[in-house]
Chains A and B, each alone.
Chain A
Amino acid sequence: MSSPSPSAYDENETPKAGPKRTGEWPLFEVFIRGQHGLSHRHVGSLHAPDAAMAIKNARDVYTRRNEGVSIWVVEAEAIHASAPGDKEALYDPANDKVYRHPTFFDVPDEVGHM
């Protein structure tokens, strides 16, 4: 059997418009509560067609080894984040304000570990 002969490249031919791919599922961020009493922590992300399926997928992807007692999923695009470029303005001013840390109080010994 021989391979089919290649057709000559025609630069004037408009490329065929293939069907547009619309199949990408939205991205969800996954938060898991490890134990009762702890807060939910971000553990990663995954794709799913909807929120209900995202929870199921999160159960399979992130709680296989008994990691959690509760799952939250949030569509990634619903999360608003600070801009990395604003880092200096946002965080640097706090650097030299040590008085904001509650380290200037003498804690009586009887209080023990706080």
Chain B
Amino acid sequence: MSDALFEALLRLGDNTLVLGHRVSEWCGKAPVLEEDIALANTALDLIGQTQMWLGYAAEVEGAGRTADDLAMLRDVWDFRNILMVERPNMDFGHTMMRQFLFDAYHRAALRGLSISTDPRVAEIAAKAVKEATYHLERSAETVIALGDGTQVSHDKMQAALDLLWPYVGEMFESDAVDAQISDAGIAPDPATLRGGWDTYVQGVMAEATLSIPEDSFAHRGGRTGARHTEHLGHMLTQMQWLQRAYPDATW
């Protein structure tokens, strides 16, 4: 059981870690000052959640590792985040579309996690769901504003949606780990979140005048660690550089 729980916590913590780092890459260069600050806040929220998930994961593992060790000293194949969050930011529209698709999933997942039979998981999720709710409000509003904006912004958002859609399926994939964890009442089975997510996302996309691609092909391999995209390794060279070059550095 603790193996499955460790794996499940890595999936939660790695999603927030990798997306948090990606979003932080906008710091200092977002299109406007207000968005810059908002994105940095989002990134910090996600990194804060990472500390809690990976901190608990390290305890469950019981191998003397810390959240920092898990974040900074693992290599690509040990990461369990979905592929969508490791994709490069590209333009602002792509970043916000990715954020929206993830936030809608994240809020639903955290709501389920906040009634977990594991009190630690429930506690972390109860704190995180408030942040995710705000992230979703913000990203949904931005997707609607840009989708239903000018011709240029509409085209960019449609292109972002088309590009990201094949990465949606992996969020709702279930395997043996999920089955074990959901049977124990620790987390909802991701597959059960799909219906609500679809309804919500369809509503927002309709308002944003964007069309959801019909193809349901899904890239997978991130949350099992089987096959990450080439982008994650490049991201880790940036994220882990300091710790790798100066192990255990303090200030």
Contact = CB atoms under 8 A, between A and B. Distances in A.
Interface of A: 25, 46-49, 52-53, 56-57, 59-61, 64
Contact of A60 (B34, B141, B145): B34
A56 B134 CA distance: 9
Interface of B: 32-34, 37-38, 41, 134, 137-138, 141, 145
Nearest to B41: A60
Given A60-B37, A60-B38, A60-B41, A47 B137 contact: no
A53 B140 CA distance: 12
27 contacts: A25-B32, A46-B33, A46-B34, A47-B32, A47-B33, A47-B34, A48-B34, A49-B145, A52-B141, A53-B141, A53-B145, A56-B38, A56-B137, A56-B138, A56-B141, A57-B34, A57-B37, A57-B38, A59-B134, A60-B34, A60-B37, A60-B38, A60-B41, A61-B34, A61-B37, A64-B37, A64-B41
Contacts of A49: 145
Contacts of B41: 60, 64
Contacts of B38: 56-57, 60
Contacts, number: 27
A46, A56, A60, A64 interface centre (most CB from chain B within 10 Å): A60
Most buried by A among B32, B33, B134, B137: B32
A107 B64 CA distance: 69
Contacts of A64: 37, 41
A61 B38 CA distance: 7
A65 to B, nearest CB: 11
A64 B40 CA distance: 11
Nearest to B134: A59
B30 to A, nearest CB: 11
Contacts of B32: 25, 47
A48 B134 CA distance: 17
Nearest to B34: A57
A64 B134 CA distance: 13
A53 B96 CA distance: 15
Contacts of A59: 134
Contacts of A25: 32
A53 B32 CA distance: 13
Given A53-B145, A60-B37, 5 more contacts: A25-B32, A47-B33, A56-B38, A60-B41, A64-B41
A2 B32 CA distance: 35
B32 to A, nearest CB: 7
